Each structure stands twice: as structure tokens, then as C-alpha cells.
Amino acid sequence: MSKKVFAVIGTGAIGGYYGARLHHGGHDVHFLFNSDYQHVINNGLKVDSHYGDYSITANDINAYEKSADMPKADVILVALKTTQNHLLEALIRPLLKPDTLVMLLQNGIGAEQEVAEAFNLPYVGGGLCFICSNKVAPGHIDHIDYGRITIGVYGEDGIAPLESFAKDLTGCSVEVDIDPKIMDARWKKLLWNVPFNGLSTVLDSDTAQIMDCQELVNLSKDIMMEVQQAAQTTDTEIPTSLIDTMLGNTAKMKPYLTSMLLDRRNGRELELQYMYKNAIELGAKGGVSMPKTTALYEQLCFINKRIVSTVQ
């Protein structure tokens, strides 16, 4: 039996890490690069991890500048920011087979259904990466902590491919949880992302600085409770104990610069549509207002507008 072919679209902090883990597990992994392509061709992909070194040498990496040059894939890992989802038509269309599992390793809520409808796919997977990982230089990823991934699928026909992908990850020593209802999994990830990505970006502070201020801990908990209430409108029940667990884990983790804060510092557009706007609208549709989340979102919109105007 031939090896399963994996394609990684977006070889940054997330795609590079999980792609490297799959490569070291013996899988046939192909990586799409943008600005880092020439650096990786010459130097390989460097992944420093608290679990050990998962680097791939220049001679051993399958690196590409164009997805049209890549082989068709059994699994496509999309690790782009959701702000780049308008590029997916050109990026993943050449890689699709009738049974390809597209796995969105992205933040926020609502993307799986959009991609399934746009590409007329019977199923689309989603992955929630509970990981502290940053791209610190071209072709260089620093994995600081954690690494567990929760995966689910939109479309009942995708359960078997999802379970097969879970086995692939487990075989590479990646902790995996399967949550068949991807909406449930995404709400649970938003429980952390909404307060900590947003507050860290507005305040230009890491997680340890936020947790060192009791007023911000209280605000974070209030925002998490708004997310919990909004999730209930889509039949997703999040136990209050999970809020306390997440706050406790955040207090214990190493100081972490969230992905959105790094986007702000690097002048990149912020992921607001799927992480904030969609969640607020889903809550409102179910009769739940999210005043503190909305206030945070509005501040982020102001910051984002300045970033976009500077880039343009």
C-alpha cells in the first residue's frame, strides 16, 4: 500500500510543527511556502520543540512555491490565517481528489461549512490546536509548550477519514481528541481565544502579564462566560468547570505571545471575522448579547483598521 500523501498549506508555527511531526513519523509530507521558500530550500525547516528536535534538512524536505506543482493529497492541512481564506480556491483546488480530507487548522467558527459549500465537498475537517508555537525567523519554528489537537468534521461521511487521520497523528506521538461535532470543538477553543487573543492584542501584553492582574483575570472570565452562553444557542454545552480549568492552565503556562498579538506587532491583518464577528452574530441570532466581547471586538477593529491602512 502506498503512503498517504499530506499537503501542508501555510508552513508557519502550526503547519510547520504538525507537518514536521508527520514527516518524522514516516509520512509523505509536502510543504507549501511563500516568502520562506528559498531559505528552506537552502537550509531546511528548523523546528525547536520542548519535546525534542523535529527539524527537516534541506535535502529531505518536499518544499514548493506553488500548490500546482504539488502531488494530489489524501489530507490537506490548511494552516493559513483565516484572513487568507479567499486564496483557498487557487491553493487547494489542484490538490483535491474525490476522497481528500481538507483539515482546517484555523481559529474561529464557521469556516468548515463555507469551504465544504465552496468546493462542493461532502466533508471538511477542522482542527483545534492547543499549542504554544511561534515562527521566530524564516523557516524556524519555536514550539514552547503543549501540542494536543482536537479534531472534528463537518459532514457525516467524513467520520472514517477523520478517524484515520487521528491514527496518523497518534502514531507520531501527537495527543489527539476526536470531537465529532466540530461546532462544539470550535466553541470550546473560542472560550480561550476570544479573551486572551483579544486582550493581549489590545494591551500589547503576554498571557503572564494578563494573569498577573486580577481585574484582567475577572474580565477574561466574564468574556468566557459570554462565549459559553452564545455556544448554548447552537446546542453546545460548555461546563463552567472548563472556564476555571482554562484559567488555571493559563496561569501555569510559560509567558506566551498570542498569535493575534504577533500579527499586530508584525503589521498583519487580524483574524476578526471567524474569531469574533461570527461568534457575536451567532449569539445574537440565539438571543444572547455579548457586551464585553463586543467591546473587545470593536477595539480590535480600530487596531485592525490602522494595520490595514498602513499595509495598503
Mean pLDDT within 225-239: 96
- The per-residue pLDDT for range 256-311, each reduced to its tens digit, is 899 899 999 999 999 999 999 999 999 999 999 999 999 999 999 999 999 999 86
| Predicted local confidence at residue 1, as pLDDT | 56
Within a domain: 99: yes
| Predicted local confidence at residue 259, as pLDDT | 87
Name which of 226, 303, 219, 216 is nearest 268 in CA terms. Answer: 303
Do 45 and 153 sit in the same domain of this protein?
A: yes
Which of 141, 174, 207 corresponds to the end of one domain? 174
Q: Categorize the per-residue pLDDT at 254 as very low, low, confident or very high, splitting at 50, 70 and 90.
A: confident
Within a domain: 101: yes
Q: How far apart are CA 260 and CA 245, in angstroms?
A: 22
Mean pLDDT within 7-21: 96
Do 41 and 154 sit in the same domain of this protein?
A: yes
Do 70 and 122 sit in the same domain of this protein?
A: yes
- Calculate the alpha carbon distances from 285 to 121, 211, 223, 290 in Å: 27, 32, 18, 12
- The per-residue pLDDT for range 36-84, each reduced to its tens digit, is 999 999 999 999 998 999 999 999 999 999 999 999 999 999 999 999 9
Mean pLDDT within 159-187: 93
Do 13 and 146 sit in the same domain of this protein?
A: yes
User: Cα–chain-centroid distance for residue 87?
Assistant: 16
Percent of the chain with pLDDT over 70: 99
Active site members? 189
Q: Categorize the per-residue pLDDT at 207 as very low, low, confident or very high, splitting at 50, 70 and 90.
A: very high
- Calculate the alpha carbon distances from 6 to 22, 81, 93 in Å: 9, 19, 15
Q: How far apart are CA 180 and CA 186, in angstroms?
A: 11
| Predicted local confidence at residue 201, as pLDDT | 98
Within a domain: 44: yes
Do 249 and 306 sit in the same domain of this protein?
A: yes
Do 139 and 248 sit in the same domain of this protein?
A: no
Which of 151, 174, 197 corresponds to the end of one domain? 174
Count structural domains, the chain: 2
Within a domain: 23: yes
pTM of the model: 0.84
Within a domain: 194: yes
Do 156 and 282 sit in the same domain of this protein?
A: no
Q: What is the CATH number of the domain that holds 23?
A: 3.40.50.720
- The per-residue pLDDT for range 127-155, each reduced to its tens digit, is 989 888 989 999 999 998 889 999 999 99
Q: What is the CATH number of the domain that holds 249?
A: 1.10.1040.10
Do 211 and 170 sit in the same domain of this protein?
A: no
Do 158 and 259 sit in the same domain of this protein?
A: no
276 DSSP assignment: I
Within a domain: 180: no
265's grid cell:
506587532
Which of 174, 202, 232 corresponds to the end of one domain? 174
Cross-strand pairs, 48: 53, 142
275 DSSP assignment: I
Do 146 and 76 sit in the same domain of this protein?
A: yes
pLDDT reading at 312 higher than 70: no
Do 167 and 193 sit in the same domain of this protein?
A: no
Amino acid code (one letter) for 223 = I
| Predicted local confidence at residue 95, as pLDDT | 98
**Residue 54, domain extent:** 5-174
Do 146 and 244 sit in the same domain of this protein?
A: no
